[in-house]
């Protein structure tokens, strides 16, 4: 059934009552654009995440880790696939246009993929801290998302991110039980990745945030960030590592962790493709697209 709404107010009422929008609906233009931008960024991030994961297949220590990294790579690229399909159905950009915009640095992806993973410790820190941060924010979207196809596909993605998180924590455990060299390496990785992972949630939500108003997201950035902090401070400390935040303290009265001030400059840099590894990441992604062109060509040939 194709629905339409006489005004933005009516559409808002529909959403406030838990209404779910489907691609055939005559949704307001602003909503279509907002939900598209959000899904496109998510899709881009999965692709960039999958590509960095792929880099670690030959370098992962041992066959067991290697196989887990292969599975994870396939999952992340799969997530990108599914999300690009959902995004393309909004009829704002084709898949091809989304790829071109990504390689031209015109569309966004998560801040964490603007940094370079230098060691296996970094890769484990990503699997543990970053996948968890992504999971926390995806769960909050999934809970109440007003756009039907996105909500449904998130269910599958979240289930698979759960595997990544378990793999991440198991790898942390192995390192924590390892040699001093290994523990030091991982401490360095936490030092490098703690703040970028924390900033994945973005700055505090503005009162007029359209994503919240239209029930695309259901929780404010600062709430999600805090949920992640409360979980990961004690977890990392429990494994014997320290958090690179001199302002971090335990508020015993409120029974919670409070962090020091956040420097948002690095996040802003990544948003304009000026992160420490932005340029290389984008050109690597573009190269891999070129190199796999023969697959698309072959598929086109069969379809003709």
Partner 1 sequence: MRIYEVFLKADGKEEFRHAGSIEAPTDELALVLARENYTRRAEGTHMWVVDRENICVSEEGFIDANLNKSHRHNDGERVAEWRKSQRNKKSNG
Which stretches of the chain bind partner 1, using CB under 8 A? 1-2, 24, 71, 74-75, 78, 81-82, 85-86, 89, 95, 149, 152-153, 156, 160, 299-300, 302-303
Residue 204, Ramachandran bin (φ over 0: left; ψ between -120 and 50: alpha; else beta): beta
**HSE-CB of 5 using CA atoms within 13 angstroms:** 17
Instruction: Give the nearer residue to partner 1 in terms of CB position, either 82 or 285.
Output: 82
**HSE-CB of 52 using CA atoms within 13 angstroms:** 27
Q: How far is the CB of 46 from Fe ion (least distance, A)?
A: 5
DSSP label of 271: H
**How, if at all, do strands 256-258 and 249-251 pair?**
antiparallel
Contact between 79 and Fe ion by CB under 5 A: the answer reads: yes
Which has the closest alpha carbon to 115: 253, 247, 282, 277? Answer: 277
- What does the alpha-carbon distance between residue 194 and residue 264 come to, in Å, rounded to a whole number? 13
Residue 183 binding: pick among Fe ion, partner 1, none (C-beta 5-8 Å cut-off by kind): none
Contact between 76 and Fe ion by CB under 5 A: the answer reads: yes
Instruction: Give the nearer residue to Fe ion in terms of CB position, either 157 or 267.
Output: 157
Our measurement of the distance from residue 81's CA atom to the centroid of its chain's CA atoms, rounded to an integer in Å, reads: 14
Instruction: Give the nearer residue to partner 1 in terms of CB position, either 6 or 181.
Output: 6
Residue 76 binding: pick among partner 1, Fe ion, none (C-beta 5-8 Å cut-off by kind): Fe ion
Residue count of the chain, please give it: 304
Instruction: Give the nearer residue to partner 1 in terms of CB position, either 69 or 153.
Output: 153
Do 225 and 231 form a contact (C-beta atoms < 8 A)?
Answer: no
Contact between 131 and Fe ion by CB under 5 A: the answer reads: yes
Residue 259 binding: pick among Fe ion, partner 1, none (C-beta 5-8 Å cut-off by kind): none
Q: How far is the CB of 251 from partner 1 (least distance, A)?
A: 41
Kindly identify the residues of this chain, within the stretch 35-74, that bind Fe ion according to CB under 5 A.
46
Question: Which residues in this chain contact Fe ion in the complex, by CB under 5 A?
Answer: 46, 76, 79, 131, 161, 164
């Amino acid at each position: 059934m194709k629905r339409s709404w006489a005004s933005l107010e009516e559409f808002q009422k529909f959403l406030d009552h838990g209404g779910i929008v489907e691609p055939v609906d005559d949704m307001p233009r602003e909503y279509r654009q907002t939900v598209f931008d959000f899904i496109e960024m998510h899709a881009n991030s999965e692709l960039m995440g999958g590509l960095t994961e792929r880099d670690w297949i030959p370098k992962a220590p041992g066959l067991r880790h290697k196989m887990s990294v292969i599975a994870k790579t396939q999952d992340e690229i799969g997530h990108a696939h599914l999300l690009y399909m959902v995004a393309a159905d909004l009829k704002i950009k084709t898949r091809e246009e989304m790829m071109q915009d990504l390689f031209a640095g015109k569309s966004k992806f998560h801040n964490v993929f603007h940094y370079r993973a230098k060691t296996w410790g970094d890769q484990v820190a990503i699997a543990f801290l970053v996948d968890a941060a992504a999971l926390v924010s995806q769960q909050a979207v999934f809970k109440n998302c007003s756009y039907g196809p996105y909500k449904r596909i998130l269910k599958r993605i979240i289930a698979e991110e759960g595997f990544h998180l378990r793999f991440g924590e198991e790898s942390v455990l192995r390192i924590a039980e390892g040699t001093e060299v290994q523990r030091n390496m991982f401490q360095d990785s936490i030092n490098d990745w703690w703040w970028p992972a924390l900033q994945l949630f973005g700055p505090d939500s503005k009162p007029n945030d359209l994503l919240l108003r239209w029930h695309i997201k259901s929780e404010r950035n600062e709430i999600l960030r805090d949920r992640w902090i409360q979980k990961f401070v004690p977890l990392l400390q429990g494994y014997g590592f320290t958090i690179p935040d001199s302002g971090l303290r335990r508020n015993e009265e409120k029974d919670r962790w409070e962090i020091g001030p956040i420097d948002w400059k690095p996040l802003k840099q990544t948003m304009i493709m000026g992160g420490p590894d932005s340029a290389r990441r984008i050109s690597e992604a573009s190269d891999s697209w070129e190199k796999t062109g023969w697959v698309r060509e072959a598929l086109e040939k069969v379809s003709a």
